[in-house]
Structure 1
Amino acid sequence: MKLHKHLFLIGTACFCFLINSQLKAQGSDYEVLFDGKSMEKWRGKQSATFPEKGWKVENGLLFLDSKGGGDIITRETYGDFELVFEFNLTPSANSGIKYFVDTLYKGDTEKMMVNGPEYQIIDDYNYPGIKEDPNGLSSTAAAYLLYPPKNKTLHPAGEWNTGKIVAKGKKVTHWLNGQKVVSYQRGSRDFLKRKASTKFKDDTEYGELESGHILLTDHGDKVYFRNIKIKEL
């Protein structure tokens, strides 16, 4: 009886070890884009270096401290990915995370910055004009101006929220606090129809790139970010 109990305990311990090892392995698949200290994996949208003003890292948090920093992008580009991040709004703040953003060259010298879809981050409760958007196309977690979030729970300014963007092939999903709130197909008939009614209608490459940079917007408002990581799928 004691032998059976001993073998059972050994088997249980081995099983738990395997599960923990698998979880650690899964966690290690993520590339940390912001560790609370270094911005070495980021640069200015139109610069080879990280902005000297505007953006600030303090107490493990990344935030826009003043105007003029400009948008920042990852140094690397990503195609199929899962991006996870935490954000904390200040009252009436507006920000966002864009993806599939890149620089394309025409000929030998001319280049243009290709815009990309945006995971909207905004104070739904206090931002001026947000009540004039009854469809939610400009609210937090929306694919900005294209797809509104559904069944979402947004914590108010001063509290942390967890966001996630998953892009696999042409399919994209937005998540907020553990809930999938947006799902769409890049380049689909529905996507193109919606795009045609927005300010992006003339951006021919909008949402069409196979890979691109991740971009944090500078809208002049303070929004705190932490634990930004990405996993290639």
Structure 2
Amino acid sequence: MKNISKLAFYGMLLLSFASKAQWKDLFNGSDLKGWVKRNGNAEYKIENKTIIGVSHLNTPNTFLCTENLYGDFVLEVDVKVEVGLNSGIQIRSISDPAVMNGRVHGYQVEIDPALRAWSGGIYDEARNGWLYPLSVNPQGQKAFRNGQWNKYHIEAIGNSIKTWINGIPCANLLDSQTAKGLIALQVHQIKRPEQEGLTVQWRNIRIATENLQDVVWKGGEEAPEVSYLPNQLSENEIRKGWRLLWDGKTTAGWKLANGSSFPKVGWEIQDGVLKVTGSKKDSLRKGGDIETEKEFSNFELELDFKLTTGANSGLKYFVVDDPKRKEGTGLGPEFQLLDDNVHPDAKAGVNGNRTTASLYDLITAENLSEGNKEKRMNPPGKWNKLRIVSKDGHVEHWLNNLKMVEYDRHSQIFQNLVAKSKYNTYANFAQAYAGHILLQDHGDEVHFRSIKIREF
């Protein structure tokens, strides 16, 4: 009986051990077995069980890639980088000879010693740009320590990607573009001679791929969630009072602006996308602007939009129906949507105040999150995220999670701007307590999806 008990005990011990997460080293400390360099000619060398990436001029971004692909995992790595060199850790990324000649692309966890401090944010390398800049998480900006080793903890499970640096939550992303791919260590392209020879270092690289419940960290929800799940609400969004303003399938909740029913032409719903069909050369196809049936006052609104080349559209808010105006039109402050590089309206107005994300004809969009004018907008054919926050007269325009415009619609400054704009003949412009939210049909093809709102 004693022997049987011992066997049972050791069997249970082995079973318990097998069911726990097992860490696996991705780097053996002595050579680059299991890794391959792609795309560029930056140098990777090994010293003291550390991979050191060395920057070189006249070479594109260089990636040291795992030979294996990984789906759901928890990855940990220590990182140190010299100021002046940008870098990153690719996860679930792709290198396919049939796509961009094998250019590595996909999710990148940022290594950023610059003043903006976006380390731990998530950039979509060579695909969609910034998905999670740390402009949405000021606490996360404090995590990375320049000139020191930093511990990265990265969880990619299902459509959720979360990051921590030195125990501080940095990114909390929901995105379903890529479920499996390679892991890679990036040495970023440099353009200035003084950047030659700057280094980024990685050590203690390990991964777990099974029984991940044993190694996931708590507290990731402390980083604000950013979701790119089309026409879906996450559990977190539902708890916080978000609801879909468009259901992704029908015209429910929307009508012709200043009208009563949804237009029969000019708008289409296809594969979860609400589309202005475009009618520049055929006035019979133009449906007119559409608006929500309900009115809103204090709210946070999000949607994804995709322009076509040369397109012009906009989103208006605090729109009040007026029997004196014709159906299919509405008046209100406007978040401009425009192909700034092609459409002539980008050069009209004053100092670019008719470009994308601007408060149309009133305030020019600038990248307030980084303190420059670079919008980081994706080009026609790719999705961009729009966000408007309106509370007690204070309004913000956000583009791809970067703040572009901030103003008080009840202030004297705003009234002065209106007086010098095309709206100067409209009494009490933008002063309504509540109003409809409007999508503009400007005659160009534009796509919308994931329209959601929460009220304060």
Q: Which range, TM-score by smaller chain?
A: 0.7 to 0.9
Out of 124-133 and 95-104, give the one that drifted further: 124-133
**Contact between 1:120 and 1:139, CA under 8 Å: does it hold in 2?**
yes
Deviations 1:161-180 (A, max 9, x none): 00100000010000000101
Q: 1:189 to 1:40 in 2, by over 3 A?
A: same
1:80 matched to which residue of 2?
Answer: 298
Instruction: State, as a whole percentage, how many aligned pairs show the same letter.
Output: 39
Counterparts of 1:129 and 1:74, CA distance in 2: 26
Does 1:203 pair with 2:426? Answer: yes
1:128 matched to which residue of 2?
Answer: 344
2:359 matched to which residue of 1?
Answer: 143
Superposition TM-score, scaled by structure 1 size: 0.85
**Contact between 1:35 and 1:226, CA under 8 Å: does it hold in 2?**
no
1:44 matched to which residue of 2?
Answer: 256
Please tell me the residue identity of whatever aligns with 1:202. Answer: T
**Contact between 1:52 and 1:69, CA under 8 Å: does it hold in 2?**
yes
Deviations 1:64-106 (A, max 9, x none): 11442011010010010001000011000000000001125xx
1:68 to 274, 286, 295: 286
Q: 1:19 to 1:175 in 2, by over 3 A?
A: closer
Counterparts of 2:439 and 2:292, CA distance in 1: 9
Counterparts of 2:274 and 2:386, CA distance in 1: 15
Please tell me the residue identity of whatever aligns with 1:97. Answer: L
1:27 to 237, 241, 251: 237
Deviations 1:46-69 (A, max 9, x none): 321111111111111111114420
Q: Secondary structure at the match of 1:34?
A: coil
**Contact between 2:396 and 2:406, CA under 8 Å: does it hold in 1?**
yes
Counterparts of 2:257 and 2:450, CA distance in 1: 21
Counterparts of 2:395 and 2:259, CA distance in 1: 28
2:14 matched to which residue of 1?
Answer: none
1:6 matched to which residue of 2?
Answer: none
Q: Runs ≥4 in structure 1, deviation > 6 angstroms?
A: none
Cα RMSD after superposing both structures: 2.7
Please tell me the residue identity of whatever aligns with 1:223. Answer: V
Task: Give the total of aligned pairs.
Answer: 218
1:117 matched to which residue of 2?
Answer: 333
1:190 matched to which residue of 2?
Answer: 413
1:107 matched to which residue of 2?
Answer: none
Larger radius of gyration: 2
How far the C-alpha of 1:38 sits from its partner, in A, is 1.4
**Contact between 1:87 and 1:224, CA under 8 Å: does it hold in 2?**
yes
Q: 1:229 to 1:199 in 2, by over 3 A?
A: same
Unaligned runs of 5+ in 2: 1-213, 226-233, 280-284, 368-374
Q: Secondary structure at the match of 1:206?
A: coil
Counterparts of 1:112 and 1:186, CA distance in 2: 24
Out of 196-205 and 112-121, give the one that drifted further: 112-121
Counterparts of 1:212 and 1:100, CA distance in 2: 4
**Contact between 1:115 and 1:203, CA under 8 Å: does it hold in 2?**
no
**Contact between 2:313 and 2:338, CA under 8 Å: does it hold in 1?**
yes
Superposition TM-score, scaled by structure 2 size: 0.45
**Contact between 1:125 and 1:156, CA under 8 Å: does it hold in 2?**
no
Larger RCO (CA within 8 A; separation ≥ 6): 1
Counterparts of 1:178 and 1:18, CA distance in 2: 19
Q: 1:161 to 1:201 in 2, by over 3 A?
A: same
Deviations 1:130-163 (A, max 9, x none): 2355712000000001111112221110111001
